[in-house]
Amino acid sequence: MPRVDNQKFYSSAIEKYGTTARGVNWHSKESQKIRFDVILEMLPDTLSSYTIADAGCGFGDLYTHMLKRKKAPKNYIGIDSLPDMYSIASHKTGCEIVIADICKERLPLADYYICSGAMNVLESFETHLFIQNCYCASKIGFIFNVLHGDKVSKTYNYMTTSQIKQIANDLGASALIMKDDYMEDDITVLLLKNSEVTL
């Protein structure tokens, strides 16, 4: 079972804050932007020939942020398990949005998979499944951010550096890049399938 009821967790936030960063339970719009920019730093400078899949896409804010940063991908696919997110992201982005349980269902192929924040309320086992499925559906690699450290929370999921390294090893990733100097208790990770890829 998930650490929290996702439907209630996000629906109540949307009802209270609307289609804003806080509506997907980010602390603030600024913290969301910081995380997005760190993700973009791990992608190639030009994305016009790549398909990007956004796992746990929420309102599609990553896509609109990419457009603002002039880093539009060739194709964007948003994936979320909640109908509310599907409806809002479809309208907001005009892109392909898929309803799927990322831990359980077969995912569409993409050059890069990205996840920002969606794993923060999963159980440890679900987090492993989520990472595995996104990594396997990516042609080049998977970039994600999670809460970082060994804290224990009834709501949120924290991962240690050693846990991340073990997952990378289990998946046979050819390269692992981690960045944790941009925000307290947060880490962004890139799992590459080919270490010769130039960013």
Whole-prediction pTM: 0.85
Task: Give the tens place of pLDDT for each residue, 87-111.
Answer: 999 999 999 999 999 999 999 999 9
The reported pLDDT for the residue numbered 26 is: 46
* Domain positions in the chain: 28-118+126-147
The reported pLDDT for the residue numbered 195 is: 63
**Judging by DSSP bridges, how do beta strands 186-192 and 138-148 pair with one another?**
antiparallel
The reported pLDDT for the residue numbered 8 is: 53
CA triple 92-97-99, angle to 5 deg: 125
Assign a CATH topology to domain 28-118+126-147.
Rossmann fold (3.40.50)
Query: What is the DSSP track for the chain?
Result: --SS-HHHHHHHHHHHH-SSGGGGT-S-HHHHHHHHHHHHHTS-S--TT-EEEEET-TTTHHHHHHHHTT---SEEEEEES-HHHHHHHHHHH-SEEEE--TTTS----EEEEEEESTTTTS-HHHHHHHHHHHHHHEEEEEEEEEEESS---SS--EE-HHHHHHHHHHHT-SEEEEE-SSSTTEEEEEEES-TT---
Could you say which residues of the chain have pLDDT below 70? 1-27, 195-199
The reported pLDDT for the residue numbered 84 is: 87
